[in-house]
Amino acid sequence: MQPIINVSEISKTYASGFQALKSVNLSIDKGEILALLGPNGAGKTTLISIICGIVNPSSGSVTVDGMDIARDYRAVRSMIGLVPQELTTDAFETVWNTTSFSRGLFGKPSNPKHIEKVLRDLSLWDKKDRKVRELSGGMKRRLLIAKALSHEPRILFLDEPTAGVDVELRKDMWQSVRELRASGVTVILTTHYIEEAEEMADRIGVINHGEIVLVERKDELMRKLGKKQLVLQLNSALDAIPSGLAQFGLELGADRNQLIYTYDTRAERTGITSLLSAMGAAGVSFSDLDTTQSSLEDIFVDLVKASR
Amino acid sequence: MNYRAVWAIYRFEMSRAWRTLMQSIVSPVLSTSLYFVVFGTAIGSRIPQIEGVSYGAFIVPGLIMLSLLTQSVANASFGIYFPRFSGTIYELLSAPVSPLEVVLGYVGAAASKSILLGVVILATAAFFVDLHIAHPILMISFLVLTAVTFSLFGFIIGLWADGFERLQVIPLLVITPLTFLGGTFYSIKMLPEFWQTVSHFNPVVYLVSGFRWSFFEISDVDVTVSIAATVAFMLACLAVISWMFKTGYRLKN
C-alpha cells in the first residue's frame, strides 16, 4: 500500500530543553487505522502536532501525499482533520456555528447538508442550536470530532479520542471511526488504552521516550499474542531433551527442571495430548503444570521497560 | 488566498461583538454621552471658543479618537488572546491559512467594530452639539486608518500577553494616558512651550490633530505630518506582526 504520510528523522527539543522526539521515522499507509500507543509524555501529541502544523520540528521532514508540510502547507492542511486531546471549544458559540466556522476556516464552500450529516452521525443534531458550554464532556468531545470532519478531511488525527467518554459512547465512536475508514479516510489515533488499539487498529505503533519502539500489523501482534506456553515442572532434571520429544520444539527451563512447550491456541490442534503421551513413552514425568499467555499489555509493558 | 477562511474568522469575531453588544457598543456610547454632558455642556459653556470652535464641538474629534483607540486595542487584543488562552488556537494553527489571512480576519473585524463605534459616537455627538465636517472623505480615511492601525497594535498585544493582566497593562498604562495628554480635551497650543515640545513625542497628538483638522480645519500639527505619522506606525505594527508569525512567537513551540 502507498504511504500517505511519511515522517523522516523528526526530532523536537522544546525551549525548556526537553527532548520530546528523537529522530522519529514513521510511514502511514493510505486508508489504514494506525494506533499510537504510549505512556503519558511519550511524545504522541508532539508528533501529531508537528504533522498538523501546530508545533515546529527542530529537525527532520514530513511529507503528506508527497507534499512537504511546511512548503505546501495549504494543500497538506486542507487534507487533515485534527481532534485535540484537550476539550478546547468556543464556549459561547452554538454547535452549528462553531462547526460551520471550521469548514470555512479550512477553505471549503459552505455546505449545510454536510454539516447536518456530520452532526447527525455524531448524535449532535438535536443540540445544534445549543451553546457549546451547555454540552456535557462527551458531547464536547463529539463536537470536536464534528469540527474536524466538517471540512471532509482525507486524514483524521484523533488524540486520545475516548478519554473521559463512557463505555457505551466509546463503542459508538469506534463504529464511527470504522465507517470513516470504510469511506477511505486514513485515521491516526493515539491512546493509552490497549483495548482501544486492539479493537480499532490495523497497525499499532508503540512510542516511548520520544522514540518509536515498534510498528507492527495488529494481526501480527495478535499472532504473538495467540501463542501460549505450557510449563511442565519435572520430577528430575534432564541433561538434554529426549530424542522422542524432538518434534515438539521444546525448551529446557530453569535448572533443567522445566520443559517449556509453545503452542498456538488458535491452531486446530494444540499438540498437548500427543506431547503428554510422548513424554510418558520417553519416561519423563512431571509434578506440576502451568500455562501462560502474553497479552498485548505484557508486550507493551516489556517494550516500554526495555526502551527505558 | 483562502478568502473563505478570512470570511469565517471575520464573521466569527463580529458575532462575538453582537453577543456582547452592551459591552462593545452601548457602554462606550454611554460614557461618551457623559463626557458631553460634563465637558461639553456643564463645563464647556464656561469655556471660550477655541480658534472659533465652541468647546463642545472641539472635543468631538478627540472623544471619537479616545474610544476608537481604546476599543481597537481592546477588541483586537482580546480577539487573538482568547483563543490562545482557551486553547482553540489549535484549529487556526492547523488550518490552511497564511498569517496575512489571520491578520485580515481578526484585525479586519476589530477595526470594523471600532469604525462602527466611531460612527455611532459621532451620531450621538450630533445630539449635543452642532457639527459640520469640512472634509468628510479625509475624516472617514482617518477613522479607518486609525482603527486599522490600533487594531494591529492590539493584535500585537494579544500575541504578546501571557495573562489577562498583561492584556490590560498596555491599554491602561500607555494608551489611556497618551490619549488624555494627546489633545483630546484641549489644544496643545494651550500648554507652556516645554510641554508642547514634549507633546510632539506623543503619537496620539498627530491622530487627534489630523482628525480634528478634517472637521474644523484647525490643527496642532500639519495634517500631512499627521497622516505620515499614522501610516508609519501602521507599517511598524505590520513589521512586528510579520516577525511574530515568522518566528512562531508565542503561537508555536
Domain limits, chain B: 3-31+57-247
- A117 and A198 share a domain? yes
Domain that holds residue A101: 3-209
- A33 and A125 share a domain? yes
- A48 and A142 share a domain? yes
Chain A positions touching B12 (Cβ under 8 A) are 93, 97, 101
Confidence of residue A296 (pLDDT cuts 50, 70, 90): low
Chain B positions touching A74 (Cβ under 8 A) are 2, 96, 98
- Closest to B153 in 3D by CA, of B244, B85, B223: B244
- A104 and A253 share a domain? no
How many structural domains compose chain A?
A: 2
- A22 and A149 share a domain? yes
Q: Give me the pLDDT at residue A294, please.
A: 66
Chain B positions touching A105 (Cβ under 8 A) are 4-5, 8-9, 91-92, 95, 97
Instruction: Identify whether A250 is part of a domain.
Output: yes
Residue of B nearest to A73 (CA): B96
Query: Number of CB pairs < 8 Å for A and B?
Result: 77
Residue identified by cell 488499539 is: A197
Instruction: Say whether pLDDT at B214 is over 80.
Output: yes
Instruction: Say whether pLDDT at A246 is over 90.
Output: no
Chain A positions touching B94 (Cβ under 8 A) are 52-54, 77, 80, 82
C-alpha cell belonging to residue A287? 509434578
Instruction: Say whether pLDDT at B42 is over 80.
Output: no
- A188 and A230 share a domain? no
Q: Which of B23, B81, B91 best tests the A interface by mutation, with the highest count of A CBs <10 A? A: B91
In chain B, where does DSSP find H-type helix?
Answer: 3-19, 21, 27-35, 55-86, 89-94, 99-128, 136-160, 164-170, 176-180, 193-199, 203-216, 223-247
Residue identified by cell 529426549 is: A242
- A187 and A251 share a domain? no
Q: Give me the pLDDT at residue A273, please.
A: 86
- A69 and A182 share a domain? yes
- A49 and A146 share a domain? yes
Instruction: Say whether pLDDT at A56 is over 80.
Output: yes
C-alpha cell belonging to residue A296? 498485548
* CA–CA distance, A38 with A96 (Å, rounded to integer): 35
- Closest to A94 in 3D by CA, of A137, A138, A126: A126
- A190 and A282 share a domain? no
- A158 and A194 share a domain? yes
Write the DSSP assignment of A228-256 as a string of letters: EEEEEEESS--SS--GGGGGG--EE-GGG
Residue of A nearest to B6 (CA): A105
- Residue B246, chain A, CB below 8 Å: the answer is no
The terminus-to-terminus CA distance of chain A in angstroms comes to 32
Residue identified by cell 505450557 is: A230
Q: Per-residue pLDDT tens for B193-212?
A: 888 888 888 888 888 889 99
| Mean pLDDT for the stretch of residues A211-228 | 80
Q: Give me the pLDDT at residue A307, please.
A: 65
C-alpha cell belonging to residue A100? 460551520
| Mean pLDDT for the stretch of residues A177-193 | 89
- A119 and A257 share a domain? no
C-alpha cell belonging to residue B169? 497593562
- Residue A199, chain B, CB below 8 Å: the answer is no
Instruction: Say whether pLDDT at B228 is over 80.
Output: yes
Residue of A nearest to B15 (CA): A93
* CA–CA distance, B172 with B176 (Å, rounded to integer): 6
* CA–CA distance, A149 with A138 (Å, rounded to integer): 17
Instruction: Identify whether A77 is part of a domain.
Output: yes
User: Is the CB of A56 less than 8 angstroms away from the CB of B253?
Assistant: yes
Instruction: Identify whether A38 is part of a domain.
Output: yes
- Residue B104, chain A, CB below 8 Å: the answer is no
Helix (H) or strand (E) holding A35: strand A33-37
Q: Per-residue pLDDT tens for A99-121?
A: 999 999 999 999 999 999 999 98
Instruction: Say whether pLDDT at A1 is over 70.
Output: no
User: Is the CB of B87 less than 8 angstroms away from the CB of A84?
Assistant: yes
